[in-house]
A and B are shown apart, each in its own frame.
Chain A
């Protein structure tokens, strides 16, 4: 007998040591790390496809520079210890390239912003410095004369987020993780005060621990056990060109943050950016692309890299960032709900740190000492102004 309730069907549909909600890069990396420890894992994904949220829609930056000081240790650890060997570890090429990040400036005000970022980096032990106009063009001869300086972090880079997400998924699946896609999760349930069950419209999944890594959807799910994570959705758009001859290996960004991107292993250029109309464009939800945004991104790019004016755009897309109220993610066990671990609100810079976050979340869920201090990412750090 099954009873359909407002929260779904009260039939046990699956059991494992851990149940993860969300098969994005964070959920997949967490599942992989738990499977490495010998745990059984079920991953529930609402979409038909794995990694169809921000994981497949970002610019692929593996960047330390420009990060919040709280997040920098995670990015530096991932770049030093995980990214270089990740393709071998997962048995699939994630197209990681460690050839630096140039953040470009066109005005004195831009240079001040960049100097601030460089200072923060250096203070935290990151190899980072300012380049003048000549040094920048020596490094990247394709940049326009408008560029008068840049911040430079030689150990930054980029990777392919689509392949990385699917590589974590593939390896986790090979290690026995059970992935179920197209399943509508309705909430988390407690047994004797402990988060043990995930309710879906087609049954209950039970584990010793529950991990929420569902991007924006995490907020509603956490609310089902009385926990709130202040975050909101931010629409971003991106575009990709046809294959171009090899031009430069650095990841590019700007002080103005009007676009960012790089040339991929395939030869195409992937760029993200915005038009300023995102809030209105995203009003109705979905993943809309606006006819004004890609052109705006193109105009920005051409001012910095004039050579790309003849590159053809073959595709545009959009995605949602889960923007936290204070700019860094929530990676945390939940005191009030033992057994529950949350990883969300990555604010548009989750991809670069995903390999270490997967490990940290697995450690939190297992109650182990974490490889890095994650106290800055607690769920209960948000306070009102007054």
Chain B
């Protein structure tokens, strides 16, 4: 694959991505012996799922996340993100650096509603 398939310059510093024409396709999906290897353990997503998603038109980390729930489980992608990026880059035929950095979202660790919702009382110093 040439790099016109996806030329989005990823990373935080890059403000304006170059256009990516989604009608340019990354060839045919070729099944591989390791397609059933689990990549995202929280959401049980396999390498084959991720490779197939690319052929379904999911060209960014954000799209694959939303399409497959990869990296959206309890660990929020802290275990699998690097692997997912490597698989996607390889399937798209682009360097990993051109893939978008996936968005990290608060909270850093899963927090119970009763704890998160207690914020106002803590701030006021009310004892509970």
Contacts and interface: CB of A to CB of B under 8 A. Distances in A.
Nearest to A183: B19
Given A310-B113, A313-B111, A315-B76, A166 B63 contact: yes
A107 interface: no
Interface residues of B, number: 38
A144 interface: no
Report the interface size class on chain A: 35 or more
A173 B67 contact: no
Contacts of A137: none
B90 interface: no
A142 interface: no
Given A182-B17, A291-B119, A313 B22 contact: no
A309 B79 CA distance: 27
A242 B75 CA distance: 10
B105 A180 contact: no
Nearest to A317: B105
Given A48-B100, A173-B22, A181-B19, A309 B114 contact: yes
A302 B113 contact: yes
Given A180-B20, A295-B120, A289 B105 contact: yes
A162 B67 CA distance: 7
A294 interface: yes
Contacts of A67: none
A344 interface: no
Of A49, A51, A241, most buried by chain B (CB within 10 Å of CB) is A49
B91 to A, nearest CB: 16
Interface in A34-87: 48-52, 56
B56 A170 contact: yes
Contacts of A295: 116-120
Q: Is the interface of A mostly helix, strand, loop or mixed?
A: mixed
**Chief secondary structure at chain B's binding surface:** loop
A353 to B, nearest CB: 21
B60 A48 contact: yes
Given A166-B67, A313-B107, A317-B105, A180 B112 contact: no
A242 B72 CA distance: 9
A201 B16 CA distance: 11
Contact of B112 (A163, A312, A315): A312
Interface string B73-105: 110100000000000000000000000100101
A201 B103 CA distance: 26
Contacts of A152: none
Given A242-B74, A289-B105, A301 B69 contact: no
Interface string A231-267: 0000000000111000000000000000000000010
A182 B20 contact: yes
A280 B113 CA distance: 24
Interface string A301-344: 11000001111111111000000000000000000000000000
Contact of A166 (B17, B66, B117): B66
Contacts of B16: 182, 184, 201
Given A295-B117, A308-B113, A314-B74, A49 B106 contact: no
A133 interface: no
Given A302-B117, A312-B112, A316-B107, A178 B23 contact: yes
A198 to B, nearest CB: 13
Contacts of A310: 112-114
Given A242-B73, A316-B105, 16 more contacts: A48-B17, A48-B62, A49-B100, A163-B66, A166-B58, A169-B57, A178-B22, A180-B19, A180-B21, A182-B20, A242-B110, A291-B106, A292-B120, A312-B111, A313-B110, A314-B107
Interface of B: 8, 16-23, 56-60, 62-63, 66-67, 69, 72-74, 76, 100, 103, 105-107, 110-114, 116-120
